[in-house]
Structure 1
Amino acid sequence: VKVSVLCLLPQAVLSRWACVRACPASCSCTQERSCSVLCDRSSMAELPKEFPCEASAINLDKNRLKFLSERAFGTLPSLKSLSLDHNNISFITPGAFKGLSNLVELKMAHNEYISYLHTRTFTGLKKLVRLDLSDCNLFSIPDRIFIEQIALKELLCFQNNFRRIPGAIRGMENLTHIYLERNKIEAVAYNSLLGLGSLKYLNLQENRINVIHDQAFQDLVRLENFYLNDNLLSELPRLAFKGLTRLKMLNLGGNQLTNVSRTWFSDLVELEILYLDRNQLVNIEEGAFENLTSLITLHLNSNNLTTLPFPVFQPIYFLGRLFLFKNPWECDCGLEWLKDWMESYKLVRDVPCASPSSVAGLDLSEVVFAKVNGTCIDPAELNLTTASSDIASTTENRFNSLISKLLQQELREEIGNGTESLRNGTLLDSEEVELSGVRGQRALADQSFFCFLVLIWDIFLLKYQYVKLIVSVICKEQQQ
C-alpha cells in the first residue's frame, strides 16, 4: 500500500521527499530544481556513510576531512557538482571518485596537505568539465593523470609549487581555461603548451618565468586572454606571439623588459588591451604597434620612457585609452604632438615632466611650446632666450637711467655755474680760467668713468652691440 501511495505522488514531490529522507544527519538538503546537499562548516572529520541518490550537488567545504577512500561517495549517478574546498585532505585513494560517472565539476582547492596525486586519482570522471586544485601545495602532477578527462575544459591549479607547466595538460584539445598563476614556474618550453588548440584563457602571472622558448605558443591559435605579468622576463623571442591572431588581451606588465621589439605583436590584429606597465622600458621600436589595428587600451605607465616619437604612436592614433604616468618624460618639442593629441581627444592625463629643468614638475598639458618661423622651440631654449631678453632689457634700462642721471648732473652744474658767474661778476679773469679748468677736469673724469662702464657692459653682453654704438656717439659729442 505504501508503495502504491508513493507511486501516486507527483514525481517532483517524490524526489523532494526522497532527497530529504536520505539527507545525512549533519547536513541540510534542499530540493528546488534539483537535490542539493549542504554539509559545509559541519566540523566533519569523516564523510557520511551515504548521500541521497538523487543528489545533484554536494557541498563539503570547510570541514576537517583528511582521507578519501576508494568509492568514498558510493554511487551517485545524478551528481554534477562536488565541493571539498578548505579541508585537511592529505591522501586520495586511487578510484576515490568512482561511482560519480556524471560529475561535471570537482572543487578541491585549499587543501594544503595533499601535495601528491596518484595517476589514477580521477579514474571514472569521464564527463568532468571543471577541476579546481588550487592552493593544494602540489609540486607536480603525473603526466597521464587526465587521460580519461577528455571533456575537461577548465583547470585551476594556481598557488601551488609547480616549477614547470604540468606536462599532463599537453594535448588536451578541449581545454579552454588554464589557471597557473602564483606558482614557481621558471620557463615556458617549446613543447609545454602543445596541442591546446581550443585554449582561450591562459594565466601564468606571478611566477618566476625568465625564459620563453621560441614558438612556445604556436598551438594557441584560439587564445583570447593571456597573462604573463609579474614574472622575470627581460626579453622575448623575436616572434613570441606569432599566430595568436585571436588574442584580445595581453598582459606583460611587471617584468624587466627594456625594449619593445617591432616583431612581437605583428600578428595580433584583434588585440584590444595591451599591458606593458611596470617594466623598465626605455625604447619602443618604430613599427612595434603597426598591426594593432583593434587596440583600445595601452598601458605604458611606470617605465623609464623619456619620449614617445609620433611615428611609433601613429598606427594606434585612434586609441581609446593611454596610460603614461610614472615615466621620466622629457617634455621637449618631441612631445608637442602628444600634447596636441591630449588636448584634442581628452583621453590622457598625468604626463609629468622630468626634464628640461624649466618645466620639471609640470604636467605636459601645462607646457607651452613657442614657435619661431613655424618651428617649435624647446622649453629649455625658450627659457634661456627669455632670461637673456630680461637681462638685456634690465641692462638697457639701467644704462638709460645712468645716462639720464649724468646728463642731468651736467645740466645742473652748467646752470649753477652760470648763476654763480652772474652773482660774482667782479671775479678776475685768472680765477675764471682756473674754475673753467677744474670743471673741465671733472667733466673729463666723469667721461672716462662713464666710458669704462660702457666697456664692462660691452664685454658682458657682446650680443647687444647697439648699446656700445649709442654710448660711443654720446662720448664723442661730449668731448666735442
Structure 2
Amino acid sequence: MIALAVWACARACPASCTCTTEKHCSVLCDRSGLSSLPREFPCEASSINLDKNSLRFLSERAFGTLPSLRSLSLKHNNISFITPGAFKGLPNLVELRMAHNDYIRYLHTRTFAGLRRLVRLDVADCNLFNMPDRIFLENYALKEIFCFQNNFKRIPGSLRGMENLTHVYLERNKIEAVAFNSLQGLRNLRYLNLQENRINVIHDHSFHDLSRLENFYLNDNLLSDLPRVAFKFLWRLKMLNLGGNLLTNISRSWFSNLVELEVLYLDRNRLVYIEEGSFENLTSLVTLHLNSNNLSSLPFSVFEPVYFIGRLYLFRNPWHCDCSLEYLKEWMESYKLVRDIPCASPSSVAGLDLGAVVYARVNGSCVDPGELNLTTVSPEILSSTENRFNSLISKLLLQEFRDDAGNVTKSPKNRTLLDPAEGLVSGVKRAAVSQSLVSLLAVWCDLWMAFGFQFEHVTGT
C-alpha cells in the first residue's frame, strides 16, 4: 500500500516541481519561476510549497481536491486577487501561509470558506487594510493568526468571538486604539502582540476576556496613560512589555492583580514618578526594566515587599544620588540585583556610578554627599593633607627664625659695617620667605574653606 502511494505521488508530480516521499508526499515547487499554478497535484500530497514564484491569481478550487493536504505555502508571490472558494477541496488543511504578497489588499468574506480544520493562518506583510468581520465564520479550529506588518488602523473585528485563538500577531500595523470590544470573547488567548503600532488610547475593560493571556506586547506605541484597572483580569500574565511609550507616571492600581507576572518592561518611557506600592503585589516578579527614563529618585517603599526581585535595570536615568538611594547601593553590593547606575547629581558625585559613592554618617544617620566630589576622600587623606601643610608652614617659620638668630649673634661692628649689597640680599631673602608664607597661608585658607565642611561631616567633629 505504501509502495503504491509512493508510486502515485511520483507519477503525478508536476513537471516543474520535485516530490519527496520520505514520510508523506511533499510537493516542492518553490523558486520554480511559476506564473500560474500547475494543472494538477498528486492526490496523496500532504504539503505543497509554492514560495517565491510569480503567482498572481487564485481561481475557485485552484488546487482541485486534495483530501490529504495539510500544509500549503504561497509566501513571496505576486498574488493580488483570491477568488472566493479558492481553497475549497482542501478539507483537512491545517496550515496556510500567504505572507509577503505585497498586492493583497482585500480579502473576500468567503476567501477561507471550507477550511474547517485550519489551525494556523499567515497573512503577514500583505498590505491588508482590513478583514471582513465574518471572514472566519467557518474556521472554528483557528488558533494562530499572523497579521503583522499590514495597514490595519484598528484590530480586525473578525477576531471577536474566536474562542480557540491562542496566538495573535498584530505588530507593526497602524492601529490607533483598542476598543472595549476589540478582543471580546478571546478566552483562550495566550499570546498577543500589538507592538510598534500607533496606539494612544486603551478603553476600559478592553482586556476583560483575556484571563488566560501569558505574553502581552504593547511596547513602542504612543501610550501616555492607561485605564486604572487595565490589566485587572490578566491573572495568568507572565510577561508584559510597556516599553517605548510616553508614560510619565506609574499607578499602583495597574499591576495590582498580576500575581504571576515574571517580567515587566517599562523602559524607554518618560517616567518621572512611580507611585508607592506600585509593585507590591508582584510576588512572582523576576525582572524589572526601568532603564532609559527620567527617574531621579526611587524610594524603597516603591518595591516593598518585592525584595526577592532577581534583576533590576536602572541605567540611563538622571539619578540624584543622595541618601534616599543608599538602599540601592546596598542591593548592588549585597545581592547583585542592580548595576550601572550613573549619578547625574549632586555635582560632587556626577558621573560616578552609585556603587562608588561613599555615604558619610553622623550619629548613625546618613549624610548626603557635599557639593564637592569628596565622597571617596577618607578622613586619613584629609588628615594627611592637613599635616603636610602644617609641616611646610613650620619649616618656613623655622627658617625665618634661624635667619633672625644669625643676624643677632653678629658683633655690633659687623652690624654697623654691613655691606649694603649683603644687606639687600638678606632683605630679599626675608621678603621672599615672608611672601611664601603669606601665599601658603592663603592657599591653606582656600583649601580649608573647601574641605572644612565635608571634613567635619566625615570625621563627625
Interval containing the TM-score (normalised by the shorter chain): 0.7 to 0.9
Residue deviations 1:371-422, cap 9 Å, x none?
2222222222574797996897787667656654564455445434xx428x
Cα shift at 1:326: 1.4
- The counterpart of 1:118, out of the listed 92, 108, 111, is 108
Q: Structure 1 residues 223 and 254 mapped into 2: Cα distance closer, same or farther (>3 Å)?
A: same
Residue of structure 2 in register with 1:146 after alignment: 136
Cα distance in 1, alignment partners of residues 291 and 406 from structure 2: 71
Aligned partners of 1:49 and 1:414: how far apart in 2? 128
How far residue 349 of structure 1 moved from its aligned partner, in angstroms, is 2.2
Structure 1 residue aligned with 2:177: 187
2:27 is equivalent to residue 33 of structure 1: no
Q: Does 1:13 align with 2:3?
A: yes
| Distance (whole Å) between structure 2 residues aligned to residue 316 and residue 356 of structure 1 | 28
Tell me how far apart the structure 2 counterparts of residues 384 and 115 of structure 1 sit (CA, whole Å): 66
8 Å CA contact 2:94, 2:119 repeated in 1 = yes
| Residue aligned with 2:348, SS | coil
Please state if 1:290 is matched with 2:284: no
Q: Does residue 74 of structure 2 align to residue 80 of structure 1?
A: no
Higher-helix-fraction structure: 1
Q: Which moved more, 1:176-185 or 1:232-241?
A: 232-241
Paired letter, 2:204: D
1:205-284 matches, within 5 Å, as: 205-284=195-274
Structure 2: how far apart are the matches of 1:252 and 1:180?
16
The C-alpha deviation readout for 1:176-201, integer Å capped at 9, x for no partner, is 00000000000111111111100000
Which protein shows a greater Rg? 1
Q: Pairwise CA RMSD of aligned residues?
A: 3.0
User: 2 CA distance for matches of 1:282 and 1:408?
Assistant: 66
Aligned counterparts of 2:161 and 2:289: Cα–Cα separation in 1: 34
TM-score normalized with structure 2 length:
0.86
Distance in 2 separating the partners of 1:337 and 1:387: 21
1:107 aligns with 2:101: no
The answer on whether the counterparts of 2:346 and 2:371 sit within 8 Å (CA) in structure 1 is no
Which of residues 165, 168, 173 in structure 1 aligns to 2:155? 165
Q: Work out the number of aligned pairs and report it.
A: 430
Q: Is 2:347–2:371's contact at 8 Å kept on the other side of the alignment?
A: no
Q: Give the drift of 1:370.
A: 2.3
Q: Is the 8 A contact 1:239 1:264 kept in 2?
A: yes
Q: Equivalent residues in 2 for 1:54-453 (5 A)?
A: 54-380=44-370, 383=373, 404=398, 407-408=401-402, 410-416=404-410, 419-420=411-412
8 Å contact 1:81–1:104 — kept in the other structure?
Answer: yes
CA contact (8 A) 2:347 2:373 kept: no
Q: Secondary structure at the match of 1:293?
A: coil
Q: Secondary structure at the match of 1:315?
A: coil
Residues 1:176 and 1:387: Cα distance change in structure 2 (over 3 Å): closer
| Offset of residue 361 of structure 1 | 1.8
CA contact (8 A) 2:146 2:170 kept: yes
Residues 238-285 of structure 1: CA deviation (Å, up to 9, x unaligned): 111111010000001111111111111001000001111111111111
Q: Deviations over 1:220-253 (max 9, x none)?
A: 0000000000111111111111110100000011
- Once the two structures are overlaid, the 10-residue window that deviates more, 167-176 or 366-375, is 366-375
SS at match of 1:298: strand
> Which amino acid is the alignment partner of residue 76 of structure 1?
L
Equivalent AA in structure 1 for residue 127 of structure 2: N
Residues 186 and 366 of structure 1, relative CA distance in 2, 3 Å threshold: same
Take 1:382 and 1:90, find their aligned partners in 2: how far apart are those partners?
69
Q: Secondary structure at the match of 1:168?
A: helix
Q: Per the alignment, in what secondary structure is the counterpart of residue 20 of structure 2? A: strand
How far the C-alpha of 1:13 sits from its partner, in A, is 0.9
Partner SS for 2:370: helix
Instruction: Output the CA distance in 1 between the equivalents of 2:322 and 2:403.
Output: 51
Q: Mind listing any 5+ residue stretches in structure 1 that lack a counterpart?
A: 1-10, 428-445, 465-480
Amino acid in the other structure paired with 1:50: E
Instruction: Give 1:114 deviation, angstroms.
Output: 0.9
For 2:39 and 2:20, the matched residues in 1 are separated by 19
Question: d(CA) in 1 for partners of 2:351 and 2:373?
Answer: 15
Name structure 2 gaps, 5 residues minimum. 417-430, 450-461
Contact in 2 for aligned 1:173/1:196 (Cα 8 Å) = yes
The AA in structure 2 aligned to 1:328 is P
Percent identity over the alignment? 70
Inter-partner Cα distance in structure 2 for 1:347 and 1:396:
46
> Is the CA contact (8 Å cut-off) linking 1:301 and 1:325 kept in structure 2?
yes
